[in-house]
Amino acid sequence: MLVKELGAIDKILLPPEFAPSNKEYGGRGDNWLIQFSALSSENPEEDVQICFFYRGRVCDQSDTEALRRVTDRSSYSPGNQNLLEADRQEPADHELDLLFSVIDVLGNVGDNQYTRNYTARATGLSGAGFHLQSLELLTVGTRTMLTARGYYHDYQGQPNNYYKGVFFDASPAEPRAKIEEIYLQSKNPEIFEKYLPAFDRCLATIQWLSVIEAK
């Protein structure tokens, strides 16, 4: 399915079995959520979605600088895309520094097992959150995106939604970034794994609106 003119995206090709399933606008500024679903069966626990999301507000200056610094390819050696090794229990200091710099950039994904230790001590927060398995860079055309994979879990740490998503600056020519997201999600781990290759191929088809056109 070909999707056109969605946020900063001119065109993106979704797997053929996906169809529009939900649209939400407003509520928190100019935010929007566009969802496409592939129903694997009549069991909703086997549903899988590809979602496009904008939070409805621009980043502050520090988050803008963090996102643009982290996604600046000139800062990395050629071929290096892993920012956080998969499922490390004890990340290196430079990995933690990077992760903490993009807590707010990552939205709900930023509340993960690495950052929660800090927020629990600082604010007393505890409970459900996100288990981050990997954080990488992905370049498609002229844009480099943050790619996160993991799962949301309940208060007991049991997975309840599997996730892979990308975060990108939709307004690179503006003083402050507008972060848009594209993500794959499913409550069923087997269904999630089944559609991961198709999702990765989908991301590779992105064609961007010009910087002047992007809204």
- pLDDT per residue as tens digits for the range 49-106: 999 999 988 999 999 999 999 998 766 655 557 888 766 677 888 888 999 999 999 9
- pLDDT for 180 equals 97
pLDDT for the residue 214:
43
Which residue would you say has higher pLDDT here, 13 or 42? 13
- 120-177 pLDDT per residue, tens: 665 555 666 899 999 999 999 989 999 999 999 988 889 999 999 999 999 999 999 9
Identify the bridge partners of residue 208 per DSSP, sorted by sequence position.
9
**How far is residue 72's CA from residue 66's CA, in Å, rounded to a whole number?**
10
What element of type H or E holds 162? strand 159-169
Evaluate if residue 41 carries a pLDDT over 60: no
Q: In this structure, are residues 213 and 4 in contact, taking their beta carbons and an 8 Å threshold?
A: no
Where along the chain do its domains lie? 2-208
pTM of the model: 0.90
Gap between the Cα atoms of 186 and 107, Å rounded: 18
| Residue 213 pLDDT class (50, 70, 90 cuts) | very low
| The pLDDT of residue 85 | 72
| Higher pLDDT, residue 30 or 209 | 209
> What pLDDT, on the 0 to 100 scale, is given for residue 79?
52
What is the residue type of 52? F
**2-208: what fold?**
Protein Transport Mog1p; Chain A (3.40.1000)
Tens digits of residue pLDDT in 176-209: 999 999 999 999 999 999 999 999 999 999 999 9
d(CA 28, CA 178): 14
